[in-house]
């Protein structure tokens, strides 16, 4: 008899060595919905909140001895309006047949129902993130094929309402100034620090705020911003070249921009991989955006009718921009 070699062992007979843990393709991503404020549970699927502009300051000198007349009176009622938003319901459903549940153990998932539910909960959280960041307007309920929708952050940041009869138009007092929006960057590689400075100047002028804004950048925009740290070759050009001195004591070259401070506010950059197509970045004052939970993601078990075990993860949320004038965005024109 010949010696049995390892290569002689049939793959059918060989015991396989398989890890009991999945290697996940990517991490969970929901920074926007995590970082913005969380408000109270709405009492209605249509919720409202008051907005008020300040009285415009003037140089109003009064002569000695002159009494107050009706023309001197200030009425601030014209500076008030009501903003409205809707709740939106979402869900993720899974189903595992009775046979798959009973006999379908996998190497890294001995309980297929639990494994699918774990992924469904994560999917629900990431679906909510996409809903918050979308460019779409709100939508009233119009039947089973026309669900109610909340307004996405990208649609809150607008200098004019959509044409026609849009749902819940934003009062002119609260519309975002056009300077807060740069929609002319068709090629993200042309994005410059001055573009951010110009938008921040407009935001500061409109909102009279100082502080830190969180900037959610697309991956392509992040690469452009990080390139601000590079040192270009000296050539004949009229463009000013930026130079940085790096501490090389630890033999590390850092090509990253995490913060950018201007006279109008500090920007804190975050890369986001789920921004709507055409959006290079959102500039967000997180104290002026609120996520209103109808209810947080919750699980329900549906009746078993003999075919499969069904579970759902459902959630209800509405996004409200308390002050649309305190935010900005840079896009390719979407």
Q: Which pLDDT value is given to residue 41? A: 95
Q: How confident is residue 73, by pLDDT bands cut at 50, 70 and 90? A: confident
**Average of pLDDT values for 94-119?**
90
**What is the 3-state composition of the chain as percent helix, strand, coil, each rounded to the nearest 5?**
25, 25, 50
Q: Please report, rounded to a whole number, the percentage of residues in the chain having pLDDT higher than 90.
A: 73
List pLDDT tens digits, range 44-69.
999 999 999 998 888 888 899 999 99
List pLDDT tens digits, range 126-157.
999 999 999 999 999 999 999 999 999 999 99
**Average of pLDDT values for 260-289?**
96
Name the β-bridge partners of 331.
279
Q: Look up the pTM and report it.
A: 0.88
Q: CA angle 163-170-57, nearest 5°? A: 125
Q: Which pLDDT value is given to residue 313? A: 95
Query: Mean pLDDT score of the chain, rounded to an integer?
Result: 90
Alpha-carbon distances of 255 from 113, 262, 300, 308, rounded to whole Å: 44, 20, 47, 52
Whether the per-residue pLDDT at 245 is higher than 60: the answer is no
Whether the per-residue pLDDT at 204 is higher than 70: the answer is yes
Q: Which pLDDT value is given to residue 238? A: 61
Q: Which residue has the higher pLDDT, 56 or 326?
A: 326
Q: What is the CA radius of gyration of the chain?
A: 27
Residue 331 DSSP class: E
**Average of pLDDT values for 305-327?**
96
Name the β-bridge partners of 31.
none
Task: Name the token pair of 129.
Answer: 């993130």
């Amino acid at each position: 008899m010949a010696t049995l070699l390892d290569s002689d062992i049939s793959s059918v007979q060989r015991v396989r060595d398989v890890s009991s843990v999945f290697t996940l393709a990517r991490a969970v991503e929901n920074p926007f919905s995590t970082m913005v404020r969380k408000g109270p549970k709405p009492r209605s699927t249509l919720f409202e909140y008051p907005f008020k502009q300040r009285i415009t300051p003037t140089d109003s000198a009064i002569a000695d001895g002159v009494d107050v007349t009706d023309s001197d009176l200030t009425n601030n009622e014209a500076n008030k309006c009501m903003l409205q938003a809707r709740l939106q319901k979402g869900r993720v459903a899974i189903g595992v047949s009775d046979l798959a549940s009973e006999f379908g153990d996998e190497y890294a998932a001995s309980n297929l129902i639990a494994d699918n539910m774990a992924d469904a909960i994560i999917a629900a959280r990431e679906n909510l993130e996409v809903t918050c960041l979308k460019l779409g307007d709100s939508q009233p309920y119009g039947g089973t094929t026309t669900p109610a929708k909340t307004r996405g952050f990208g649609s809150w940041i607008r200098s004019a309402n959509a044409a026609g009869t849009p749902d819940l138009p934003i009062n002119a007092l609260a519309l975002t100034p056009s300077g807060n929006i740069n929609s002319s960057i068709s090629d993200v590689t042309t994005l410059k620090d001055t573009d951010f400075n110009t938008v921040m100047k407009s935001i500061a002028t409109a909102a009279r705020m100082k502080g830190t804004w969180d900037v959610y950048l697309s991956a392509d925009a992040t690469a452009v911003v990080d390139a601000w740290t590079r040192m270009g070759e000296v050539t004949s050009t009229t463009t000013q070249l930026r130079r940085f001195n790096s501490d090389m004591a630890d033999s590390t070259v850092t090509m990253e921009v995490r913060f950018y401070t201007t006279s109008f506010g500090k920007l804190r950059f975050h890369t986001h991989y789920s921004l709507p197509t055409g959006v290079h970045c959102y500039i967000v004052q997180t104290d002026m955006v609120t996520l209103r939970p109808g209810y947080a993601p919750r699980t329900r078990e549906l009746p078993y009718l003999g075919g499969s075990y069904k579970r759902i993860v459902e959630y209800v949320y509405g996004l409200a921009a308390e002050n649309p004038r305190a935010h900005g965005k840079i896009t390719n024109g979407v």
